[in-house]
Structure 1
Amino acid sequence: MFLTQTVPRQREIIEVLFRNGWGYMRKLLTGGKPEDPQLPTPAVLKKIFIDLGPVYIKLGQLLSTRPDILSSAYIEELSTLQDEVPPVDWSEVEVLIRKQLKRPLEETCKYLNPVPVA
């Protein structure tokens, strides 16, 4: 059951990787013979994290603090995820809140500010 629930998200992740031109994944998933894995460029990796959403942005933020794992070019690019991330549109946030609460927002909260804080 878990696997069938995650298929749409798995498909979305693969589409983001393809859209951002990560040829290594394309080769791997289409049965090609992979050479040594190549990381995407720092800017592409940052775009992938942004496209995949908040959890991946948080992963990028975490990686930006790990010079023992990534080179300085990656650290520098991913560090911008600390304070230069585009906000999620309020309409998307509102839908998720309503879905999680399973009741109208008006019954649950007096006021929710739709303007991002940071």
Structure 2
Amino acid sequence: MGFILKFILTAILTYVLARYLPGSHIGGFKDAVLLVLVLAVLNAILKPILKVLGFPITILTLGLFLLVINAVIVLLADWILPGFKVDGFLAALLFSVVLSLVTAVVDMVVD
């Protein structure tokens, strides 16, 4: 039950973030649900590969390159979903950072 509650809360918060953050646009709540699904799949499959490939850069930047990887994941979700758009790399970076923080709060509250 906790997984479903986290999923629904994350979809609601993703919808709100995409509506109010500058540079990010979303069509409707259905698109937010699809965005959460796509981000989950990309984070599960592609993110570990990008982390391994970017490990040397991550070491050199003291972990800040992980923010770039998160932004790339959001840009890929923008490319996959027609109902979600970000205006550029900085908008994707802002969206990914705020979404990560909000998701961490949801995880703390639901658990």
Relative to its length, the structure with more strand (as a share) is: 2
Specify the TM-score bucket, using the shorter chain as the normaliser. Answer: 0.3 to 0.5
Taking structure 2 as the reference length, the TM-score comes to 0.33
Structure with more relative contact order (C-alpha pairs < 8 Å, separation 6 or more): 2
